[in-house]
């Protein structure tokens, strides 16, 4: 006795044209894109988490987007320390922030203070301390925290500096550390 294939979508027998995809049988109008809900008629489609998508729907709505040009990230792409995903081409296209090493596209570029002519990203710029007045409050908090830890500094003046990566590398090199941490000396054990 002949049995008709069963449609994975509706569970009914398929008596006419059968669409075979994803190890299942479907009525042609029941093989639907998980994004737009329309039937997938092309032989080419994408699957994510067991769900089918039109190639165009997948590209435009499911792929991660580049943080710098907002185009879909197709194929190989880069992810920086901060989790920012972007096309490889932008690596040579934009300068890096002198403080956090993020890429800084032209629309976001602004030089630091007159004393430091370095490109900063908007995040570092928003947290920048450029004057003695701005440094007083975080300096006092750090000094109080160190004092609360029971650390003694023998009446020596506490010297705190906020420095860029090249200055940090210089200081760490003087201490004999051959490979300074690229984002600062904030490592602990």
Per 3-state DSSP, the chain is made up of helix, strand and coil in percentages (nearest 5) of: 25, 15, 55
* Per-residue confidence in pLDDT tens, the chain, 189 aa: 778 999 999 999 999 999 999 999 999 999 999 999 999 999 899 999 999 999 999 999 999 999 999 999 999 999 999 999 999 999 989 999 888 889 999 888 865 555 556 788 999 888 877 777 887 888 788 878 877 876 666 666 666 666 666 777 787 777 766 654 544 433 332
DSSP state of 42: S
pTM of the model: 0.62
Contact 81, 101 (CB under 8 A): yes
Token pair, residue 125, equals: 């710029």
Where exactly are the structural domains of the chain? 32-62, 78-126, 132-174
Contact 10, 31 (CB under 8 A): no
The CA distance from 156 to 158, in Å, is 6
């Amino acid at each position: 006795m002949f049995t008709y294939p069963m449609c994975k979508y509706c569970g009914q027998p398929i008596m006419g044209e059968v669409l075979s995809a994803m190890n299942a049988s479907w009525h042609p109008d029941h093989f639907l894109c998980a994004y737009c809900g329309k039937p997938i008629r092309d032989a080419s489609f994408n699957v994510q988490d067991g769900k089918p998508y039109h190639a165009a729907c997948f590209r435009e709505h499911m792929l991660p987007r580049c943080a710098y040009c907002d185009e879909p990230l197709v194929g190989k792409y880069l992810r920086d320390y901060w989790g920012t995903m972007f096309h490889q081409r932008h690596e040579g296209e934009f300068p890096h922030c002198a403080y956090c090493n993020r890429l800084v596209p032209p629309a976001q570029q602004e030089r630091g203070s007159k004393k430091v002519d370095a490109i900063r990203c908007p995040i570092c710029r928003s947290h920048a301390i450029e004057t003695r007045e701005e440094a007083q409050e975080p300096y006092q908090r750090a000094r109080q925290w160190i004092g609360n830890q029971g650390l003694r500094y023998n009446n020596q003046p506490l010297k705190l500096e906020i420095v860029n990566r090249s200055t940090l590398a210089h200081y760490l090199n003087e201490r004999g550390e051959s490979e300074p941490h690229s984002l600062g000396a904030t490592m602990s054990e």
